[in-house]
Amino acid sequence: MLNRRIFMTATTAAAIFACLSAPVFAQDKPFDGVQLSVLMEGHPTTDAIQKLLPEFKTVTGIDVALEVVPEQDITAKMLLELSSKSGRYDVVQNNIIYVPGFVKNGYIVPLDEQLAKYPQFFDKADFVPGYFNTNVVDGKVYGLPVYGESTFLMYRKDLFEQYGLTEPKTFDDVEKAAKTISEKTNKEIAGITMRGRQGIEGVYVWAAYLWGMGGSFLDENGKSNLATPEGTKALDDFARVLKSYGPVGVANFGWEENRLLFQQGKAAMTLDATVNGAYNEDPAASSVVGKVGYVPVPVQTQSPKGGSSSLAVHSLYVTADSQNAEAAALFAAWATAKEQQLKSMASDPNSGVTSLTALNGESFGKRYGAFKEAMITAINQGNPQYLPTIEQANEVINNTGIAVSKVLAGTATAADALKEADQANNAAIGR
C-alpha cells in the first residue's frame, strides 16, 4: 500500500510540476500546451498525418485530438457543429464543393495572414496549382489541400491489342471497344464497368459523360439544366453501354465493387478516380499489374462547356468559431507541408499528394509511374465545376443520382428522368 501511495504522490507532483513548468519552455513555442480538435476523413493521408502527430507535438507543443469519420458522413457531422457555432472543431477537412457555401455562411475563415507567419511550413509554390486555387475565394486562401484526385479512363492494353482496338478518345470509341470485347469473349469479360449506384457514386462518373457530350449541370443563370439534348444523350449512352456490355449488378456498384472487378481482370475498361491506378498497380491485390493503359476521360464534342475529368480536392479549413485560430492554421500548414507529404507516401498508399515536390519525387515515380503522366494530364484538365459547387450541391447531386439510377434500372427514359431531376433541383435552388 505504501508503495502505491508514494507512487500516487510522485505522479501528482510530477503532473503539477509539468503544469507549472510549461511556461518556462514557451518562448520558442507560443502554442505550447494548446489543444486542437481536428475532424478528418478516413483516408490514407489521414492515417499518415495521424502517425506524424507526435512530431508536430515536439515541434510546436500543440496537442491534436484527431477525430476520423468516413467521408460520406463528415459533412453532416461538421455542419451540425458549424451551424450551431459550438466551436467544437478547430480544423475540419472537406471536399471543395462545399467551400462556397461555407464561406457564404461564415463557417470558415481566410488564412492568408496566419500562413504568412509560417514560411517554414507553408509554401504556396509547392502546391499543385490546380488543387491550391480551388480554395481561393475572392482572392483569399480559405484552405490547404491535403489530397486531390481526378478521373481517367483505364483500359486493358493486352485485350485491346488482342482484339485490334485502339485507345478510346470519344465515348463512341468506348462503346465500340466495349461491344467488341464483350461479344468476342462471350460476356466472360465485361466490356466496361463503372459505378452505377444511386447517389454521388453514380453521378461522379456519369458527370464525365455529361461534360464530355457538351452538357452541364447548371445554365448561365444558375438553374439546373440537365434535360438538354446533350444531357439526355449523355445519360442514354452511359446507361446503354453499361446495360449492354457492363457486368451483372452494375446498378448497385459502388467504388469498391467497380475497382475489385477491374482489378480481378473481369472488365476491359473502367472510368474512375485516379487513385484506382494505385490499386491496379499493386501486385498484392491486383491481377492486372502492368496491363492497364491510362488515358484522359473521353470527350465527344469539340467545344465542351467544361472538362470531362473531375477535380476532387479535399482540404483543411479553419473554423470561424475556433478559439485557437492561429494554432489551427499552423496545423493546417504543417499537415500539408511537403516534408509531411513525402513521409506520408512512405507510410501509406497515397497517390493523391498535393505537393509538387512529392509528386515529382523519385518515390512517386517508382510506385505510380504507370499512370503518373495520365494523372497529371487529368489534373491539369480537371474541371473545378465538375460537380456543382453551390450551396445546394448535395441535394442537386442526390436528385441527379436518382435520374441516373432510374435510367440505368430501366424504370424511366433519360429525358423524363432528367426533367424530373431539373424540377427537384430548381425547387431546391429556389428554396
Partner 1 sequence: MAKRTDPSRFFYQPIIAVLSLTSLVLTVYVVWLSLRDLSLMRAGRDTFVGIDNYIRFFNDPRGLWALWRTVLFTVLATSIEVVLGLAIVLFLDRNFALKRLVRTLLLVPIIMTPVVVGLTWRFIFDPASGMANYLLSRLGFDAMDWLGSPQVALYSVLIADIWQWTPFVILLSMAALDSAPSDPLDAARVDGAREWQVTWYVLLPMLRRAIAIVALIRAIDSIKAFDLFYIMTRGGPALSTETLNFYGYVVAFTNFEISYSLTVALILTIFTNVALLAMYGVLFPKNGEPR
Minimum separation from the CB atom of position 402 to partner 1 (A)? 6
Minimum separation from the CB atom of position 248 to partner 1 (A)? 4
Contact 374, 294 (CB under 8 A): yes
Site string for partner 1, 15-54 (x = CB under 8 A): ----------------------------------------
Q: Is 154 helix (H, G, I), strand (E, B) or coil?
A: strand
Degrees (nearest 5) of the Cα angle 249, 253, 254? 170
Window of 76-84, 174-182, 214-222, 278-286 that interacts with partner 1 by CB under 8 A: 76-84
Minimum separation from the CB atom of position 107 to partner 1 (A)? 8
One of 6, 8, 59, 76 touching partner 1 (CB under 8 A): 76
Minimum separation from the CB atom of position 394 to partner 1 (A)? 5
One of 40, 103, 165, 250 touching partner 1 (CB under 8 A): 250
Minimum separation from the CB atom of position 179 to partner 1 (A)? 20
One of 19, 80, 285, 346 touching partner 1 (CB under 8 A): 80
Site string for partner 1, 92-121 (x = CB under 8 A): ---------x---x----------------
Query: In whole angstroms, what is the distance from residue 402 CA to residue 414 CA?
Result: 11
Contact 368, 351 (CB under 8 A): yes
Query: In whole angstroms, what is the distance from residue 145 CA to residue 133 CA?
Result: 9
Minimum separation from the CB atom of position 84 to partner 1 (A)? 8
One of 169, 176, 266, 367 touching partner 1 (CB under 8 A): 266
Minimum separation from the CB atom of position 138 to partner 1 (A)? 19
Helix/strand/coil (H/E/C) assignment for every residue in 333-350: HHHCCHHHHHHHHHHCCC
Contact 155, 268 (CB under 8 A): yes
Minimum separation from the CB atom of position 411 to partner 1 (A)? 5
One of 11, 12, 21, 83 touching partner 1 (CB under 8 A): 83
Q: Measuring CA to CA, which residue among 52, 51, 46, 91 is closest to residue 70?
A: 46
Residue 369 interacts with partner 1 (CB under 8 A): yes or no: no
Q: Is 273 helix (H, G, I), strand (E, B) or coil?
A: strand
Residue 385 interacts with partner 1 (CB under 8 A): yes or no: no
If the CB atoms of residues 44 and 202 are measured against partner 1, the closer one turns out to be 202
Query: In whole angstroms, what is the distance from residue 330 CA to residue 165 CA?
Result: 52
Window of 58-66, 82-90, 285-293, 331-339 that interacts with partner 1 by CB under 8 A: 82-90
Q: Measuring CA to CA, which residue among 152, 217, 195, 230 is closest to residue 386?
A: 217
Query: In whole angstroms, what is the distance from residue 72 CA to residue 98 CA?
Result: 13
One of 196, 298, 307, 388 touching partner 1 (CB under 8 A): 196
Grid cell at residue 259: 475497382
Contact 104, 320 (CB under 8 A): no
Residues 403-422 that bind partner 1 (CB under 8 A): 405-406, 408-412
Residues 210-249 that bind partner 1 (CB under 8 A): 247-249
**Partner residues linked to 316 by β-bridges:** 93, 144
Q: Which long-range contacts (CB under 8 A, 24 or more apart) does 81-88 make?
A: 82/107, 82/319, 82/320, 82/321, 83/107, 85/320, 85/321, 86/321, 87/319, 87/321, 87/322, 87/323, 88/37
If the CB atoms of residues 244 and 380 are measured against partner 1, the closer one turns out to be 244
Which residues, other chains included, contact 123 with Cβ-Cβ below 8 Å and sequence gap of 6+? 337, 338
Minimum separation from the CB atom of position 145 to partner 1 (A)? 23
If the CB atoms of residues 313 and 421 are measured against partner 1, the closer one turns out to be 421
Minimum separation from the CB atom of position 50 to partner 1 (A)? 24
Other Cβ atoms within 10 Å of 241 Cβ, number: 23
One of 251, 325, 330, 333 touching partner 1 (CB under 8 A): 251
Please give the single-letter amino acid code of residue 107: Y
**Interface residues toward partner 1, by CB under 8 A:** 73, 76, 79-80, 82-85, 101, 105, 196-199, 247-253, 257, 261, 266, 391-392, 394-395, 398, 402, 405-406, 408-412, 424, 428, 431
